Amino acid sequence: MELHYVIKSSGIVLALIAVVYMLRPDMAKQLMVFLQKGKRIYIDGLLNFALAVLFFAGAHQCRYPWLIYLFGSIFAIECLLIFGLGSEKTKVILDWSREESYELFQFIGLLIGIVGLLVIFSS
């Protein structure tokens, strides 16, 4: 199976998310409000887990596997933090970050865009 195409597609999705965050930082805040309800934060944890597994499984097919392994490790750490901290502590972090300025969310969008472009370039 050609996993590097799936990894490249996830990089495209990350780049598109980054564009939305940079143009509409209020969307990031709305996402945080959505994730705070009930146990929805674990959806993000499962998504990070799935991306980590995908990146680890397909890194050997990519042009720069070390970079894909690096991003897979970051996704795995995010997953461990979400499940390790639990929903209550994660909600406190989301509350704190939701109060930040729009410029910070635009900067985060820029970082996500850089990661997305690096994933596209590396796969």
- pLDDT at 1 (0 to 100): 66
Place of tokens 């990350």: 14
Across 74-85, average pLDDT: 94
Query: What residue type is assigned to position 100 of the chain?
Result: E
- CA dist 31 and 110 (Å) reads 17
Q: From the CA atom positions of the chain, what is the Rg in Å?
A: 15
pLDDT in tens, 11-22: 999 999 999 989
Q: Is pLDDT above 70 for 6?
A: yes
pLDDT in tens, 84-122: 998 888 888 888 887 888 888 899 899 999 999 999 999
Query: Quick one: pLDDT at residue 93?
Result: 85
Binning the chain into helix, strand and coil, the percentages to the nearest 5 are: 90, 0, 10
Residues 21-52 pLDDT 10s: 899 988 888 888 888 888 888 999 999 999 99
